[in-house]
Amino acid sequence: MPQLALLYGRAWAALFGQLRRPPRAVCIQMVHSRSQVAEAVLTSQQKPHQEKSNFIIKTPKGTRDLSPQQMVVREKILDMVVSCFKRHGAKGLDTPAFELKEMLTEKYGEDSGLIYDLKDQGGELLSLRYDLTVPFARYLAMNKLKKMKRYHVGKVWRRESPTIVQGRYREFCQCDFDIAGQFDPMIPDAECLKIICEILSGLQLGDFLIKISWKDVRHEMVAKKGLAPEVADQIGDYVQCHGGVSLVEQMFQDPRLSQNKQALEGLGDLKLLFEYLTLFGIAEKISFDLSLARGLDYYTGVIYEAVLLQTPAQAEEEPLNVGSVAAGGRYDGLVGMFDPKGHKVPCVGLSIGVERIFSIVEQRMKTFGEKVRTTETQVFVATPQKNFLQERLKLIAELWDAGIKAELLYKNNPKLLTQLHYCENTGIPLVVIIGEQELKEGVIKLRLVASREEVAIKRENLVAEIQKRLSES
């Protein structure tokens, strides 16, 4: 994973700046009663003979804005995740934020109550998507696609009770990778687990473990279907166990299990899976664990969940309950639910819990108190002189046209010190200074903000000189 590591090495250090969240709600006083807004407020909080009223300006419960600082962190993390998905040959896909309500029906079991419905304003009944998996299955069925390897990064919405401290929101971002199609057993499943390992290692979140269970095996054993109660009780012991290849081997040889056809098949596949995981060099990251139970209805076969074993710098940080940071599994029946003849398209996939990863990285940045740049500006155009706006505007247009990221202050006559402070505060590395003297001599002063060194450059060489310096840094 050198790509991730490289990015990490180069850009990560700059990332760990202090993240200050904007106040989540600001209570303000309404003076100009802007009819409807004010009216809605007045209706609920009416006080006689008083025109002013309090009203809260905020984002909806369980949602939040992402500040520029947060956006920088998010962009870096999503870039790493998507580049991993692309490394594994996935295509991009996007689906609408809402689906016909009936498309989501019967897919989420008990969780269905958490789906956001749209108001009936005439026309179709619509719901906000609850995950990216069901829209993917709908897409496959609708386009009669029998195989596809796709990734999808997008928001989903769930009406959960938000516990903000744990990083759970009603609107959150999901990053999904899925492989649809009929293939030889366990090869795509193993690749999904490999991808989770690559992403979690690449993000350097600390040690992690992926717990694997098997829906059918678990069902046979725990729900006791088709097993004599006393056998089930004995087998129930395995639910307490967890381990790797050796545990699978042990269960495989247990006659109480080998007598049950469905459980036996599941265990055979599981053994194959561990073979492939060993070839991928990740077997020691995976633990078979029947106590794991994933909530969603549509899973069949293998299911998994990645958990962090510790926060990255646990000693220095407050403990943070982050829960699972990735999860997924096989869902061979979902596409068939959309198909007229119930034709199945076997699928396996994973979802990276990026919101939780954002929380961890933000907390880490807070702890280490480093600064993060929220713009990418390379050059600032300044002047010590009054009435030099025209020269500054001509100059900056030249830089923009050459593809150079440049800013100036939107003032006719800014003070030089104000301009230089702006560069130091926002981390702009280069300043181009133009004044009467420079204009007369046909030069431009180039100032390196870090060293405060200044060099004179011929006006006509400016763009080339800047591009040279930027490519070297």
237-266: which residues touch a second copy (CB under 8 A)? none
Distance CA 240, CA 166 (A): 27
Among 9, 226, 295, 342, binds a second copy (CB under 8 A): 342
What DSSP line would sit under 422-453, residue for residue?
A: HHHHHT--EEEE--HHHHHHTEEEEEETTT--
Looking only at the bridges linking them, the beta strands covering 242-243 and 171-180 are unpaired
Residue 393 annotated as binding? no
Among 142, 223, 455, 456, binds a second copy (CB under 8 A): 142
- Is 179 one of the binding residues for a second copy (CB under 8 A)? yes
Q: What is the C-alpha radius of gyration for the chain, rounded to an integer number of angstroms?
A: 29
- Is 190 one of the binding residues for a second copy (CB under 8 A)? yes
Tokens 């056809």 -> residue = 261
- Is 418 one of the binding residues for a second copy (CB under 8 A)? no
- Is 22 one of the binding residues for a second copy (CB under 8 A)? yes
In our burial notation (b when 16+ CB lie closer than 10 A, e otherwise), range 361-370 reads: bbbbbbbeeb
Distance of closest approach, residue 207 Cβ to a second copy, in angstroms: 18
- Is 10 one of the binding residues for a second copy (CB under 8 A)? no
**Helices 354-368, 68-87: crossing angle, 10 deg rounding:** 130
Single out the segment in contact with a second copy by CB under 8 A; choices: 220-228, 257-265, 318-326, 409-417.
409-417
Question: Computed from CA positions of residues 286, 287, 290, 294, in that sequence, does the dihedral angle turn out positive or negative?
Answer: negative
Distance of closest approach, residue 371 Cβ to a second copy, in angstroms: 14
CB 292 within 8 A of CB 213: yes
Go through the chain and tell me how many residues it has.
473
**Helices 68-87, 187-202: crossing angle, 10 deg rounding:** 140
Among 14, 18, 58, 320, binds a second copy (CB under 8 A): 58
- Is 214 one of the binding residues for a second copy (CB under 8 A)? no
- Is 393 one of the binding residues for a second copy (CB under 8 A)? yes
Among 12, 18, 42, 88, binds a second copy (CB under 8 A): 88
- Is 203 one of the binding residues for a second copy (CB under 8 A)? no
Among 9, 11, 45, 96, binds a second copy (CB under 8 A): 96
Binding site feature residues: 131-133, 158, 174, 178, 294, 298-299
Known binding-site residues for L-histidine equal: 131-133, 158, 174, 178, 294, 298-299
